Structure 1
Amino acid sequence: MSRQKISIITPCFNEEANIEQCVARVRSVMETELGEFDYEHIISDNASTDGSREILRAVARQDPRVKVAINSKNVGPFRNMAVGLRAATGDLVVPMIPADLQDPPEVIPELVAALGPDRDVVYGVRKNRRESFVMRAARDSYYRLVRAAGGAASPPPHAGEFLIARRSVIDSVIPALGSYPYIRGLVAQATERYGTVEYEWGQREHGKSRNSIPDLIDQALNGLVSTARAPIRVALFLGVFIAAAGMLYGLVSLLLFAFGLVHADPGIPTLIVAVTFFGGLQMLFLGLIGEYVVSIQAEVRPSPQAVQVEKLNL
């Protein structure tokens, strides 16, 4: 019987201080704790401008299991991850081991061990994030919102792309990647047969994360509209309810004035509150609908996928 193969994907952008350590730790885990598996370590470089490319060329020459794709331009972290996902050939796939090693490769054996016959996916769940209270609270609220809006077709709270999935799941996800893939959400939509492994989320030892607050907000909105259909339905039903309540209120007010039960003149404050409330509600729903429209447009008129200017061992 042939040995199973694990594909491990590392998206990379300006990580010259971390690449060699990342490759070495993945190699150590795979050769010691998972020696019964073959593996490939696919590093997708997002047009780095530091010395990352030279380091990648060197490690690829030293180890044919390290496979490198270098993009012609920076296409963002999720599209860059999709480059590696499309190149993966393993029976089991880990969509992301970050170059900064905040999701540690040493957890991969636990993911493999938890992948029983009744499970297609095992998610790594970050049980302890070493970040500020505000960021932890924001992330927790977001995950709860996505879970509530998407139901069973949503990833577990605090799970990311650090997971392991069977080939059949990846084969179903790849055609649906689209122009802005939310990979963990697509995996959750592909199967509900999953397990979880909790682990400590580490800190970067070298360099600084390139994910800014606007980037995180953009990724969060993409994740919400990619996996959840409930918000647009809530907006529809709430809009109908509020419109009906407004009409009923107007009718009741008209009858009260008509029968002389209310003698006060209509107040300007009431009008201002009503206009402000309904105007704000309309803007909220228009913004929500706009997010869906943008998502639809991206799929109907997708942007070109990343072009690799160089491939090593692929």
Structure 2
Amino acid sequence: MKKISMMIPVYNEEENVLPLYDAITKCITEELSTYDYEILFIDNKSQDTTRAKLTLLCQQDSHVKAIFNSKNFGQFNSPYYGLCQTSGDCTILMCADFQDPIEMIPRFVAEWEKGAKVVCGIKTTSKENGFMYFLRSCYYRTIKKMSDVDQIEHFTGFGLYDKSFINVLRELRDPTPFLRGIVAEYAPDRVEIPYQQAKRRAGKTHNNWYSLYDAAMLSFTSYTKIGMRLATLLGFIMSGLGLIIALVYLVMKLIWWDRFVAGTAPIVLGVFVMGSVQLFFIGLLGEYILNMNTRIINRPLVIEERRLNF
């Protein structure tokens, strides 16, 4: 009997874990009854009653497993680590807030049975804030054009991963994994299924502008070279223009030295423009260096506090 692993990362989802467990269990037992299954929750140091409810679920149902992290290790490390702890022939990753439709599970499995190693859920529409969806669309299109890897637009990680691809994730040993980029780069025989993203069932999102910026910079510095190439090219052009302006200024000074008058405004403007360009690219360079530094240090993805039902 083939085994399906459901992997759900959670953080302060006390209102959602029990209804989600009920919905997943009902879906699998009614529509995928010929499969064995496990439901793995990985908790990123919740501060509410999420852990108590997960502990109760593990006591009541041997199909449920839980990993409790010793602290919050971020929105990328915890799900990636959880995927690597599953034992099924395939693993389905989904969020805990019901924005990823439960009814997609049988469709994912059907595509997997046809031979797909990775099945990606692609948001074609969303009931979230329209402005945020627009910004996400701009980001996805921008990173796709800049990256050497053909990035997947509106893919959040929601999808099915064959055991062979889970083994690839285990072997990568990436201390700062960006799953969306890894799927785009390494996933063989990928199938994409569109869906409409629903509103969060309960609770509130834990993403803010900083976390969204962090995600954008991780993908940008991991999968593009254009930032540093642009800095080099623009620096070359600006230095050339600066040299030309300096030579013109010198010639005019030598020829019309007695009549040549120049105020300080051009100098001040030049200093501010050049300084702002330099600061921008120093900051961009810093993002690349931060990414490199994290990988060189090679810290563990997460540190577990405890695990249940393993």
Q: Shared fold (TM-score greater than 0.5)?
A: yes
Could you tell me which residue of structure 2 aligns to residue 226 of structure 1? Answer: 222
Q: Over residues 164-208 of structure 1, what are the superposed CA-to-partner deviations in whole Å (9 max), with x where a residue is unaligned? A: 222222222233353332111112121364221111111122211
Matched position secondary structure for 2:147: helix
**C-alpha separation between the residues in 2 aligned to 1:237 and 1:120?**
41
Question: Mean Cα displacement is larger for which, 16-25 or 142-151?
Answer: 142-151
In the comparison of the two structures, how many residue pairs are matched? Answer: 310
Structure 2 residue aligned with 1:201: 197
The answer for the alignment partner of 1:289 in structure 2 is 285
Q: How many angstroms apart in 2 are the aligned matches of 1:151 and 1:109?
A: 33
Distance 1:106 1:279, change over 3 A: same
**Pair 1:185 & 2:181 matched:** yes
**Deviation string for 1:127-152 (max 9, x for gaps)?**
22223333122211111121112143
8 Å contact 2:11–2:43 — kept in the other structure?
A: yes
2:150 matches 1:147: no
Residues 146-165 of structure 1 correspond to what in structure 2 (within 5 A)? 146-154=143-151, 156-165=152-161
Query: Where do 1:1-314 residues align within 5 Å?
Result: 3-94=1-92, 96-115=93-112, 119-154=116-151, 156-191=152-187, 193-255=189-251, 258=254, 265-314=261-310
Determine if contact 2:148/2:223 at 8 Å carries over to the other structure: no
**Contiguous gaps of at least 5 residues in structure 2:** none
Name the CA shift for 1:264/1:202 in 2 (closer, same or farther; >3 Å): farther
Q: Distance in 1 between matches of 2:260 and 2:133?
A: 51
Q: TM-score, normalization: structure 2?
A: 0.90
Q: 1:65 to 1:295 in 2, by over 3 A?
A: same
Give ranges in structure 1 of 5+ residues lacking alignment. Answer: none
Q: Distance in 2 between matches of 1:12 and 1:130?
A: 21
Structure 1 vs Structure 2 CA RMSD: 2.5
Offset, 1:257: 5.3
Whole-Å separation in 2 of the counterparts to 1:313 and 1:10: 15
* TM-score scaled by length of structure 1: 0.89
Gap change, CA 1:204 and 1:283, over 3 Å in 2? same
One-letter code of the match for 1:25? A
Deviations 1:67-105 (A, max 9, x none): 1111122222222212311211222222x3111111122
Q: Which SS does the other structure have where 1:105 is aligned?
A: coil
Tell me if the contact between 1:149 and 1:231 (Cα under 8 Å) persists in the aligned partners: no
Counterpart residue identity of residue 167, structure 2:
D
What is the percentage of aligned positions where both structures have the same residue?
30
Deviations along 1:262-311, whole A, 9 cap, x unmatched? Answer: x7533422222221111111111111110010011111113344222221
